[in-house]
Amino acid sequence: MASNLPTQRAAIQQRLSDVREFFDELLSNRKVMITFTVMPVLILFLLINIFPIVWAITASFFQVPPYGGTWEWIGIDQYIDLFALEAFRQSVWRSVVFASGSLLIQVTFGLGLALLVTQDFKFKRLIRAIAFLPYLVPMAVFGFIAIWMTNTRFGIINRILIDLGIVDSGIAFFSTEALVMPAIIIVSSWKFSIFVTIMAVARLQSIPDSHYEAAEMCGAGAWRKFRDVTLPNLRGVLFIVVLLRFVWMFNKFDIIWVLSHGGPNDVALTAPLFAYETAFQQLNIGGASAVATMLFGLLVVTAFLYFRVLEPSKGVRVE
Amino acid sequence: MSNQTESPMMDSKHISYRQRRQLKRLVHYGLLSMAMVVILFPILWTFTTSIRPTQDVQTRDVTLLPTQFTLDHYEALLLNTEFVTWLVNSIVVAAGVCALTVVFATLGGYGLARLDLKFKQTFARGVLLGYMFPSILLGIPMYIMWRDLQLLNSRLGLVLAETALALPFSLWLMWNFFQSVPYSLEESAQMAGATRFRAFVDVALPMARPGMIAVVVFAFATSWNEYTLAQILMTDQSNYVITIGLDTLINDQLIPWGEMMAATFITLLPAFLLVYFLQKYLIRGFQVSG
């Protein structure tokens, strides 16, 4: 019996490797490969992305009881109501103002910072880590920091402003009608400029040194090198950044909500906040879905036009 | 500096090459320091607030540097509030989102890059639409759907919801990444007798590791930052994550700013460690996506 053990073990090993080979073969089959690579992501995508969207678009044509029950078809009534509603139109306009304003700051500051941190200097790794840090600081958390720093009684910003003699007493930035929107734009730019920075740094790093050397040989100064080498290389990235950041800022909910809940007299109530209030305070699910669907449609059309008119993909692959 | 006389260009409007370089460096450091102040000041202010005694925090005569040092706020935060629960929830959810995203994005990215599929173009456009989804638009239907599926207030529910935000970008990333890995390497493995699946596991997957790390960083950032969906889907205080948990600290009549800033500072730490050690991958991920 004992002498059989090695042969038995060999047989088992043979069997195991057969099984493994069988599975390898099976998994290498094209259909099986599709099933275990593309299908899972497709199903998950359908479940958590596509399905909620379709749900919302459908709900926008119904009166949806907030606590469950049968939906009542009302067609495009909700859309008509919304168009007639001054508050809705204003909220969309505010979103445009917020997105454009913060985009301007983000691209300027973000790009400037990217150019600064791609050069060589001491402690580059540490400085870069600091420069990139805001991107990973939760916006809501930074909102609380901003609220604390601008506290009218104990905030450091107000303290400095008073000490410098610029103001007499603390300013309530987030509850003053004229200041709330600019203040939110500046606070949110602190974080989101860094998205521009990281994108730009990634691109800048991939520009071969030889391009700059060639430009230098041709007698180009710093400005010409920037204009003729750096800028053309950044073109594609800038297009994408501008599109994505505009869309994301347009849809931004958290920072505005945390800082001002829409501001005094709703002066900072952008469209996403309008949708939120419609859904969770007025419990009008159908109406909120109509708002969301319109925003979605608006952004899809914007993106479509953007890609059509500017064809950024042409710029993406410069080399 | 010593051989100024040697340079005939020195006298009037011209400056020497060396001086120009020094000037340039001076401007560079100057601008960089200004940017650092803008970025670091709020964070340092958070930290110094968190270690000041309360009478030092809530004073009109606030000083830039704390005069006294205390850990009371950290102690109060950890012992008297549900902060630890929220922190654990945040970490568990972020880990879940990272795991789910990296597995699905890697498999999907490989399949889309390597397999000949009919609906690829449609799929690419569909994923792009994922960029256009306002969280709020996802949040409303998710609230109703998750309620019916008993997923409200569950960490699994939040993981699924936040994966919806991280997945489109991550899938693009891995898709692009596998395209940048030469297929000939897998082919030569297959030529040497490996099956297609083996070639994927032994050749393509190790080469895709930097992309996968970039996805993990991105998924972590998405989840760690997320507020909107968490606010809609987690309605019970003991299920909160940090970002919405902080809200409840502020809802009291008297806002405990020391504790708030202690909580905030703890939240910033993992983010800093991540960018310090993984900045290469962060940039790499963004490089491919651009």
pLDDT tens, residue by residue, A217-274: 888 888 888 888 888 888 888 888 898 899 889 999 999 999 999 989 999 999 999 9
Determine, yes or no, domain membership for A70: no
CB pairs under 8 A between A and B: 281
Determine, yes or no, domain membership for A254: yes
The answer on pLDDT for A314 being more than 70 is no
A81 and A51, same structural domain? no
pTM score, two decimals? 0.86
Please state which of the ranges A172-176, B114-118, B138-142, B174-178 shows the lowest mean pLDDT: B114-118
Indicate the number of domains in chain A.
Answer: 2
Quote the CA–CA distance of B77 and B54 in Å, as a whole number: 13
The single-letter code of the amino acid at B10 is M
Quote the CA–CA distance of A82 and A38 in Å, as a whole number: 40
A84 and A22, same structural domain? no
> Which residues from chain A sit within 8 angstroms of residue B286, using beta carbons?
198-199, 201-202
Beta carbons of B102 and B216 less than 8 angstroms apart: yes
- In chain B, what is the straight-line distance between the N-terminal and C-terminal CA atoms, in Å? 45
Q: Of B94, B48, B84, which Cα lies nearest the Cα of B226?
A: B94
> Alpha carbon of B88 to those of A135, B93, B115: distances in Å?
22, 8, 40
Domain that holds residue A45: 4-60
Determine, yes or no, domain membership for A19: yes
What integer pLDDT is reported at residue A312 of this predicted model?
52
Determine, yes or no, domain membership for A319: no
Quote the CA–CA distance of A168 and A170 in Å, as a whole number: 7
Q: Where are the domains of chain B?
A: 17-69, 72-289
What integer pLDDT is reported at residue B1 of this predicted model?
44
Interface of A with B in 259-288 (CB under 8 A): 272, 275-276, 279-280, 285, 288
Q: What CATH number did the domain enclosing A152 receive?
A: 1.10.3720.10
A168 and A42, same structural domain? no
Whether the CB of A295 is below 8 Å from some CB of chain B: the reply is yes
Determine, yes or no, domain membership for A284: yes
A154 and A17, same structural domain? no
Query: H/E element holding A72?
Result: strand A72-73
Q: Tell me how close the Cα of B170 comes to any Cα of chain A, in angstroms.
A: 11
Report the share of chain A in percent with pLDDT over 90: 48
A130 and A105, same structural domain? yes
Q: B137-175: b or e for each residue (b if 16 or more CB lie within 10 Å)? A: bbbbbbbbbbbeeebbbbbebbbbbbbbbbbbbbbbbbb
- What is the assigned CATH class of domain B72-289? mainly alpha
Query: H/E element holding B256?
Result: none
> Which residues from chain B sit within 8 angstroms of residue A105, using beta carbons?
none
- In chain A, what is the straight-line distance between the N-terminal and C-terminal CA atoms, in Å? 71
More confidently predicted of A112 and A22: A112
Q: Is the ipTM of this complex over 0.90?
A: no
